Amino acid sequence: MAARGALLKYLRVNVQTVPQNPRPNTGLFSLSFNAILRHFSEEVRGSFLDKSEVTDRVISVVKNFQKVDPSKVTPNAHFHNDLGLDSLDTVEVVMALEEEFGFEIPDNEADKINSINLAVDFIASHPQAK
Amino acid sequence: MGTSSGPKLSGMQKQVLSLYRGFLRAARLKSPEDRRQIESIVSAEFRRNSQQVDRKNFLYIEYLLRRGKKQLDQLKSPDTVGMSSLYLNLHQPTNHKP
């Protein structure tokens, strides 16, 4: 019993050492903590990219695709009708766009993207695109 | 090949494209050389089948899909570096080239 008492005393957690409010001298710590929090929430929320910037970047990705004739790439080009890409090529292009903009496009969305216009619209309306 | 463009994709086409996407995603996680090698093997295989397999041979396409999913699961394992060994093993029994 004595041993148990000693053990319980030893295990007791001192609640009072945790301050309710950050003391003034922890200002630096709380500031950096806030900065991390803010950064994190921005990361999750993201922000929308400018549409003309998205268009330029999408066009340059598509122009760099080996099977595409760069002179045929316009903001209104359709992947199959204008650029002669098949559905497997289209998957590759959309995957390249994912890497360019740093986010993953789910299958059901990716299946719908078959033109530069649709790609730009989707990416410009996606908060995670970087 | 006759890959459709404007018309909507069939359910089976979507499954094939989704599998292809899965392989390309898995390849991203490998080293750059392995990635390039995996991409060229996978892309060649999908293209070969898209040209050689009868589009109405649903049973065979379903079989290929199932086989592909198994290969993809193996590729996803961090221990699997490339596709070559994996591919040869699984590929031989169904390879009906002359």
Residue ranges in chain A modelled with pLDDT below 70: 1, 7-8, 11-46
Confidence of residue B97 (pLDDT cuts 50, 70, 90): very low
Q: How far apart are CA A58 and CA A93, in angstroms?
A: 10
Q: Which of residues 39-78 of A touch B (CB under 8 A)?
A: 78
Gap between the Cα atoms of B12 and B61, Å rounded: 8
Task: Find, among B68, B36, B33, the residue nearest to B50 by Cα.
Answer: B68
**In this structure, what are the phi and psi dihedrals at residue A115, rounded to the nearest 5 degrees?**
-155, 165
Residues B71-87 have a mean pLDDT of 76
Q: Which CATH superfamily is domain A51-125 in?
A: ACP-like (1.10.1200.10)
Q: Report the candidate in B33, B30, B44, B43 with the shortest Cα–Cα distance to residue B81.
A: B30
Using the 8-state DSSP alphabet, how is residue B57 labeled? -
Q: Which residues of B touch A (CB under 8 A)?
A: 1, 3-6, 9, 13-14, 17-18, 20-21, 24-25, 28, 43, 46-47, 50
Within 8 A of A95 by CB-CB distance, chain B residues are 21, 24-25
**B85 neighbors B36 (Cβ within 8 angstroms):** no
**Cβ <8 Å between A111 and B17:** yes
- Contact B3/A92, CB-based, under 8 Å? no
Residues A107-123 pLDDT 10s: 999 999 999 999 999 99
d(CA A105, CA A114): 13
Distance of residue B90 Cα from the nearest chain A Cα, in angstroms = 22
pLDDT for B29-63, tens place per residue? 999 999 999 999 999 999 999 999 999 999 999 99
ipTM over 0.90: no
Rounded distance between C-alpha atoms, residue A47 and residue A27, angstroms: 29
